[in-house]
């Protein structure tokens, strides 16, 4: 059995509504903070905590738009992403507030926490890690890889895994190269997995609904990336 519920918390003066899931019953479990993609807490994002709970983790899908809302309007979404994507301090505060909400939940072991991001959510997770927050691992699926403050990666304390589609036009090869150089310079324990023939948003069965040729669900790559993440968690959270 899995317990699932919404969690309200405040971030930067805004009420956020995240989604929490954990195995039912007593016990303390490693925590996983999940950061959604640009649209917000859509159906895919809201079901991720249950997926993690089925693996034995206590997971919170944070909210970085407010009210748990989904930004379906392209102009509204673009404006919001411009606001947070160009303000690193704001982005880090949004991530930190979500982390605080996760570790406040009963049964979450605050000494064993990882952050996982999907698409732009990986940027949120990495910026949180760049503050020196005690995250055992950071994992990104079809992630944004660039930071406005790459020099802060020297503060990352945990392992980093990024899973990228080789044919993802939103994450071109030069971004991957820059990321590798950044990780090396910072002395981070990192991995970058690149999947041939794979595009953006490859973990989401509903990727085609976005109507973009850049986005395509790839079940094999999704399964392999999930296994790679669990391998990292076995080393860092268990």
Other C-beta atoms within 10 Å of 121: how many?
Answer: 28
Question: Where do we find the tokens 């971030």?
Answer: 11
Contact 171, 141 (CB under 8 A): no
pLDDT band at 32 (very low <50, low <70, confident <90, very high): very high
| Residue at token pair 């930071």 | 147
For the stretch 99-114, pLDDT in tens is 999 999 999 999 999 9
d(CA 154, CA 150): 8
**Cβ 222 vs Cβ 203: under 8 Å:** yes
Q: In the block, which residue shows the tokens 């903070």? A: 33
Q: Judge residue 139's burial from the number of C-beta atoms within 10 Å of its C-beta, 0-12 exposed, 13-18 middle, 19 or more buried.
A: buried
Please give the tally of structural domains in the chain: 1
CB 186 within 8 A of CB 200: no
Helix (H, G, I), strand (E, B) or coil at 173: helix
The answer to whether 162 touches 183, Cβ cutoff 8 Å, is no
Three-state SS string over 102-156 comes to HHCCCCEEEEEEEEEEECHHHHHHHHHHCCCCCCCEEEEECCCCCCCCHHHHHHC
pTM of the model: 0.97
User: What is residue 100's predicted lDDT score, i.e. its pLDDT?
Assistant: 98
pLDDT in tens, 192-238: 999 999 999 999 999 998 889 999 999 999 999 999 999 999 999 98
Q: Encode pLDDT of 110-157 as tens digits.
A: 999 999 999 999 999 999 999 999 999 999 999 999 999 999 999 999
Write out the H or E segment, with its range, that includes residue 50.
helix 43-53
Q: Give me 46's structure tokens.
A: 């809201």
CB distance 59 to 47 below 8 Å: no
The domain of 159 spans 2-236
The CATH number of whichever domain residue 48 belongs to comes to 3.40.50.1820
Q: Residue 30 in contact with residue 113, Cβ under 8 Å? A: yes
Please write the tens of the pLDDT for every residue from 49-95: 999 999 999 999 999 999 999 999 999 999 999 999 999 999 999 99
């Amino acid at each position: 059995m899995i317990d699932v519920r919404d969690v309200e918390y405040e971030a930067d003066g805004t009420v956020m509504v995240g989604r929490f899931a954990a195995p039912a019953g007593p016990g303390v479990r490693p925590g996983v903070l999940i950061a959604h993609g640009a649209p917000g807490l859509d159906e895919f994002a809201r079901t991720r905590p249950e997926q993690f709970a089925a693996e034995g983790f206590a997971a919170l899908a944070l909210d970085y738009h407010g009210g748990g809302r989904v930004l379906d309007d392209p102009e509204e979404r673009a404006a919001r992403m411009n606001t947070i994507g160009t303000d690193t301090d704001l982005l880090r505060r949004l991530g930190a507030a979500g982390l605080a909400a996760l570790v406040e939940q009963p049964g979450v072991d605050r000494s064993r926490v990882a952050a996982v991001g999907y698409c732009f959510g990986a940027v949120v997770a990495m910026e949180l890690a760049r503050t020196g927050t005690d995250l055992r691992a950071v994992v990104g699926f079809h992630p944004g890889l660039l930071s406005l403050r790459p020099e802060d990666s020297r503060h990352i304390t945990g392992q980093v895994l990024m899973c990228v589609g080789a044919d993802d036009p939103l994450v071109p090869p030069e971004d991957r190269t820059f990321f590798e150089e950044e990780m090396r310079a910072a002395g981070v324990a990192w991995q970058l997995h690149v999947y041939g023939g794979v595009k953006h948003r490859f973990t989401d069965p509903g990727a085609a609904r976005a109507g973009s040729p850049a986005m395509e669900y790839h079940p094999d790559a999704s399964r392999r990336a999930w296994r790679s993440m669990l391998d990292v968690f076995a080393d860092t959270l268990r």
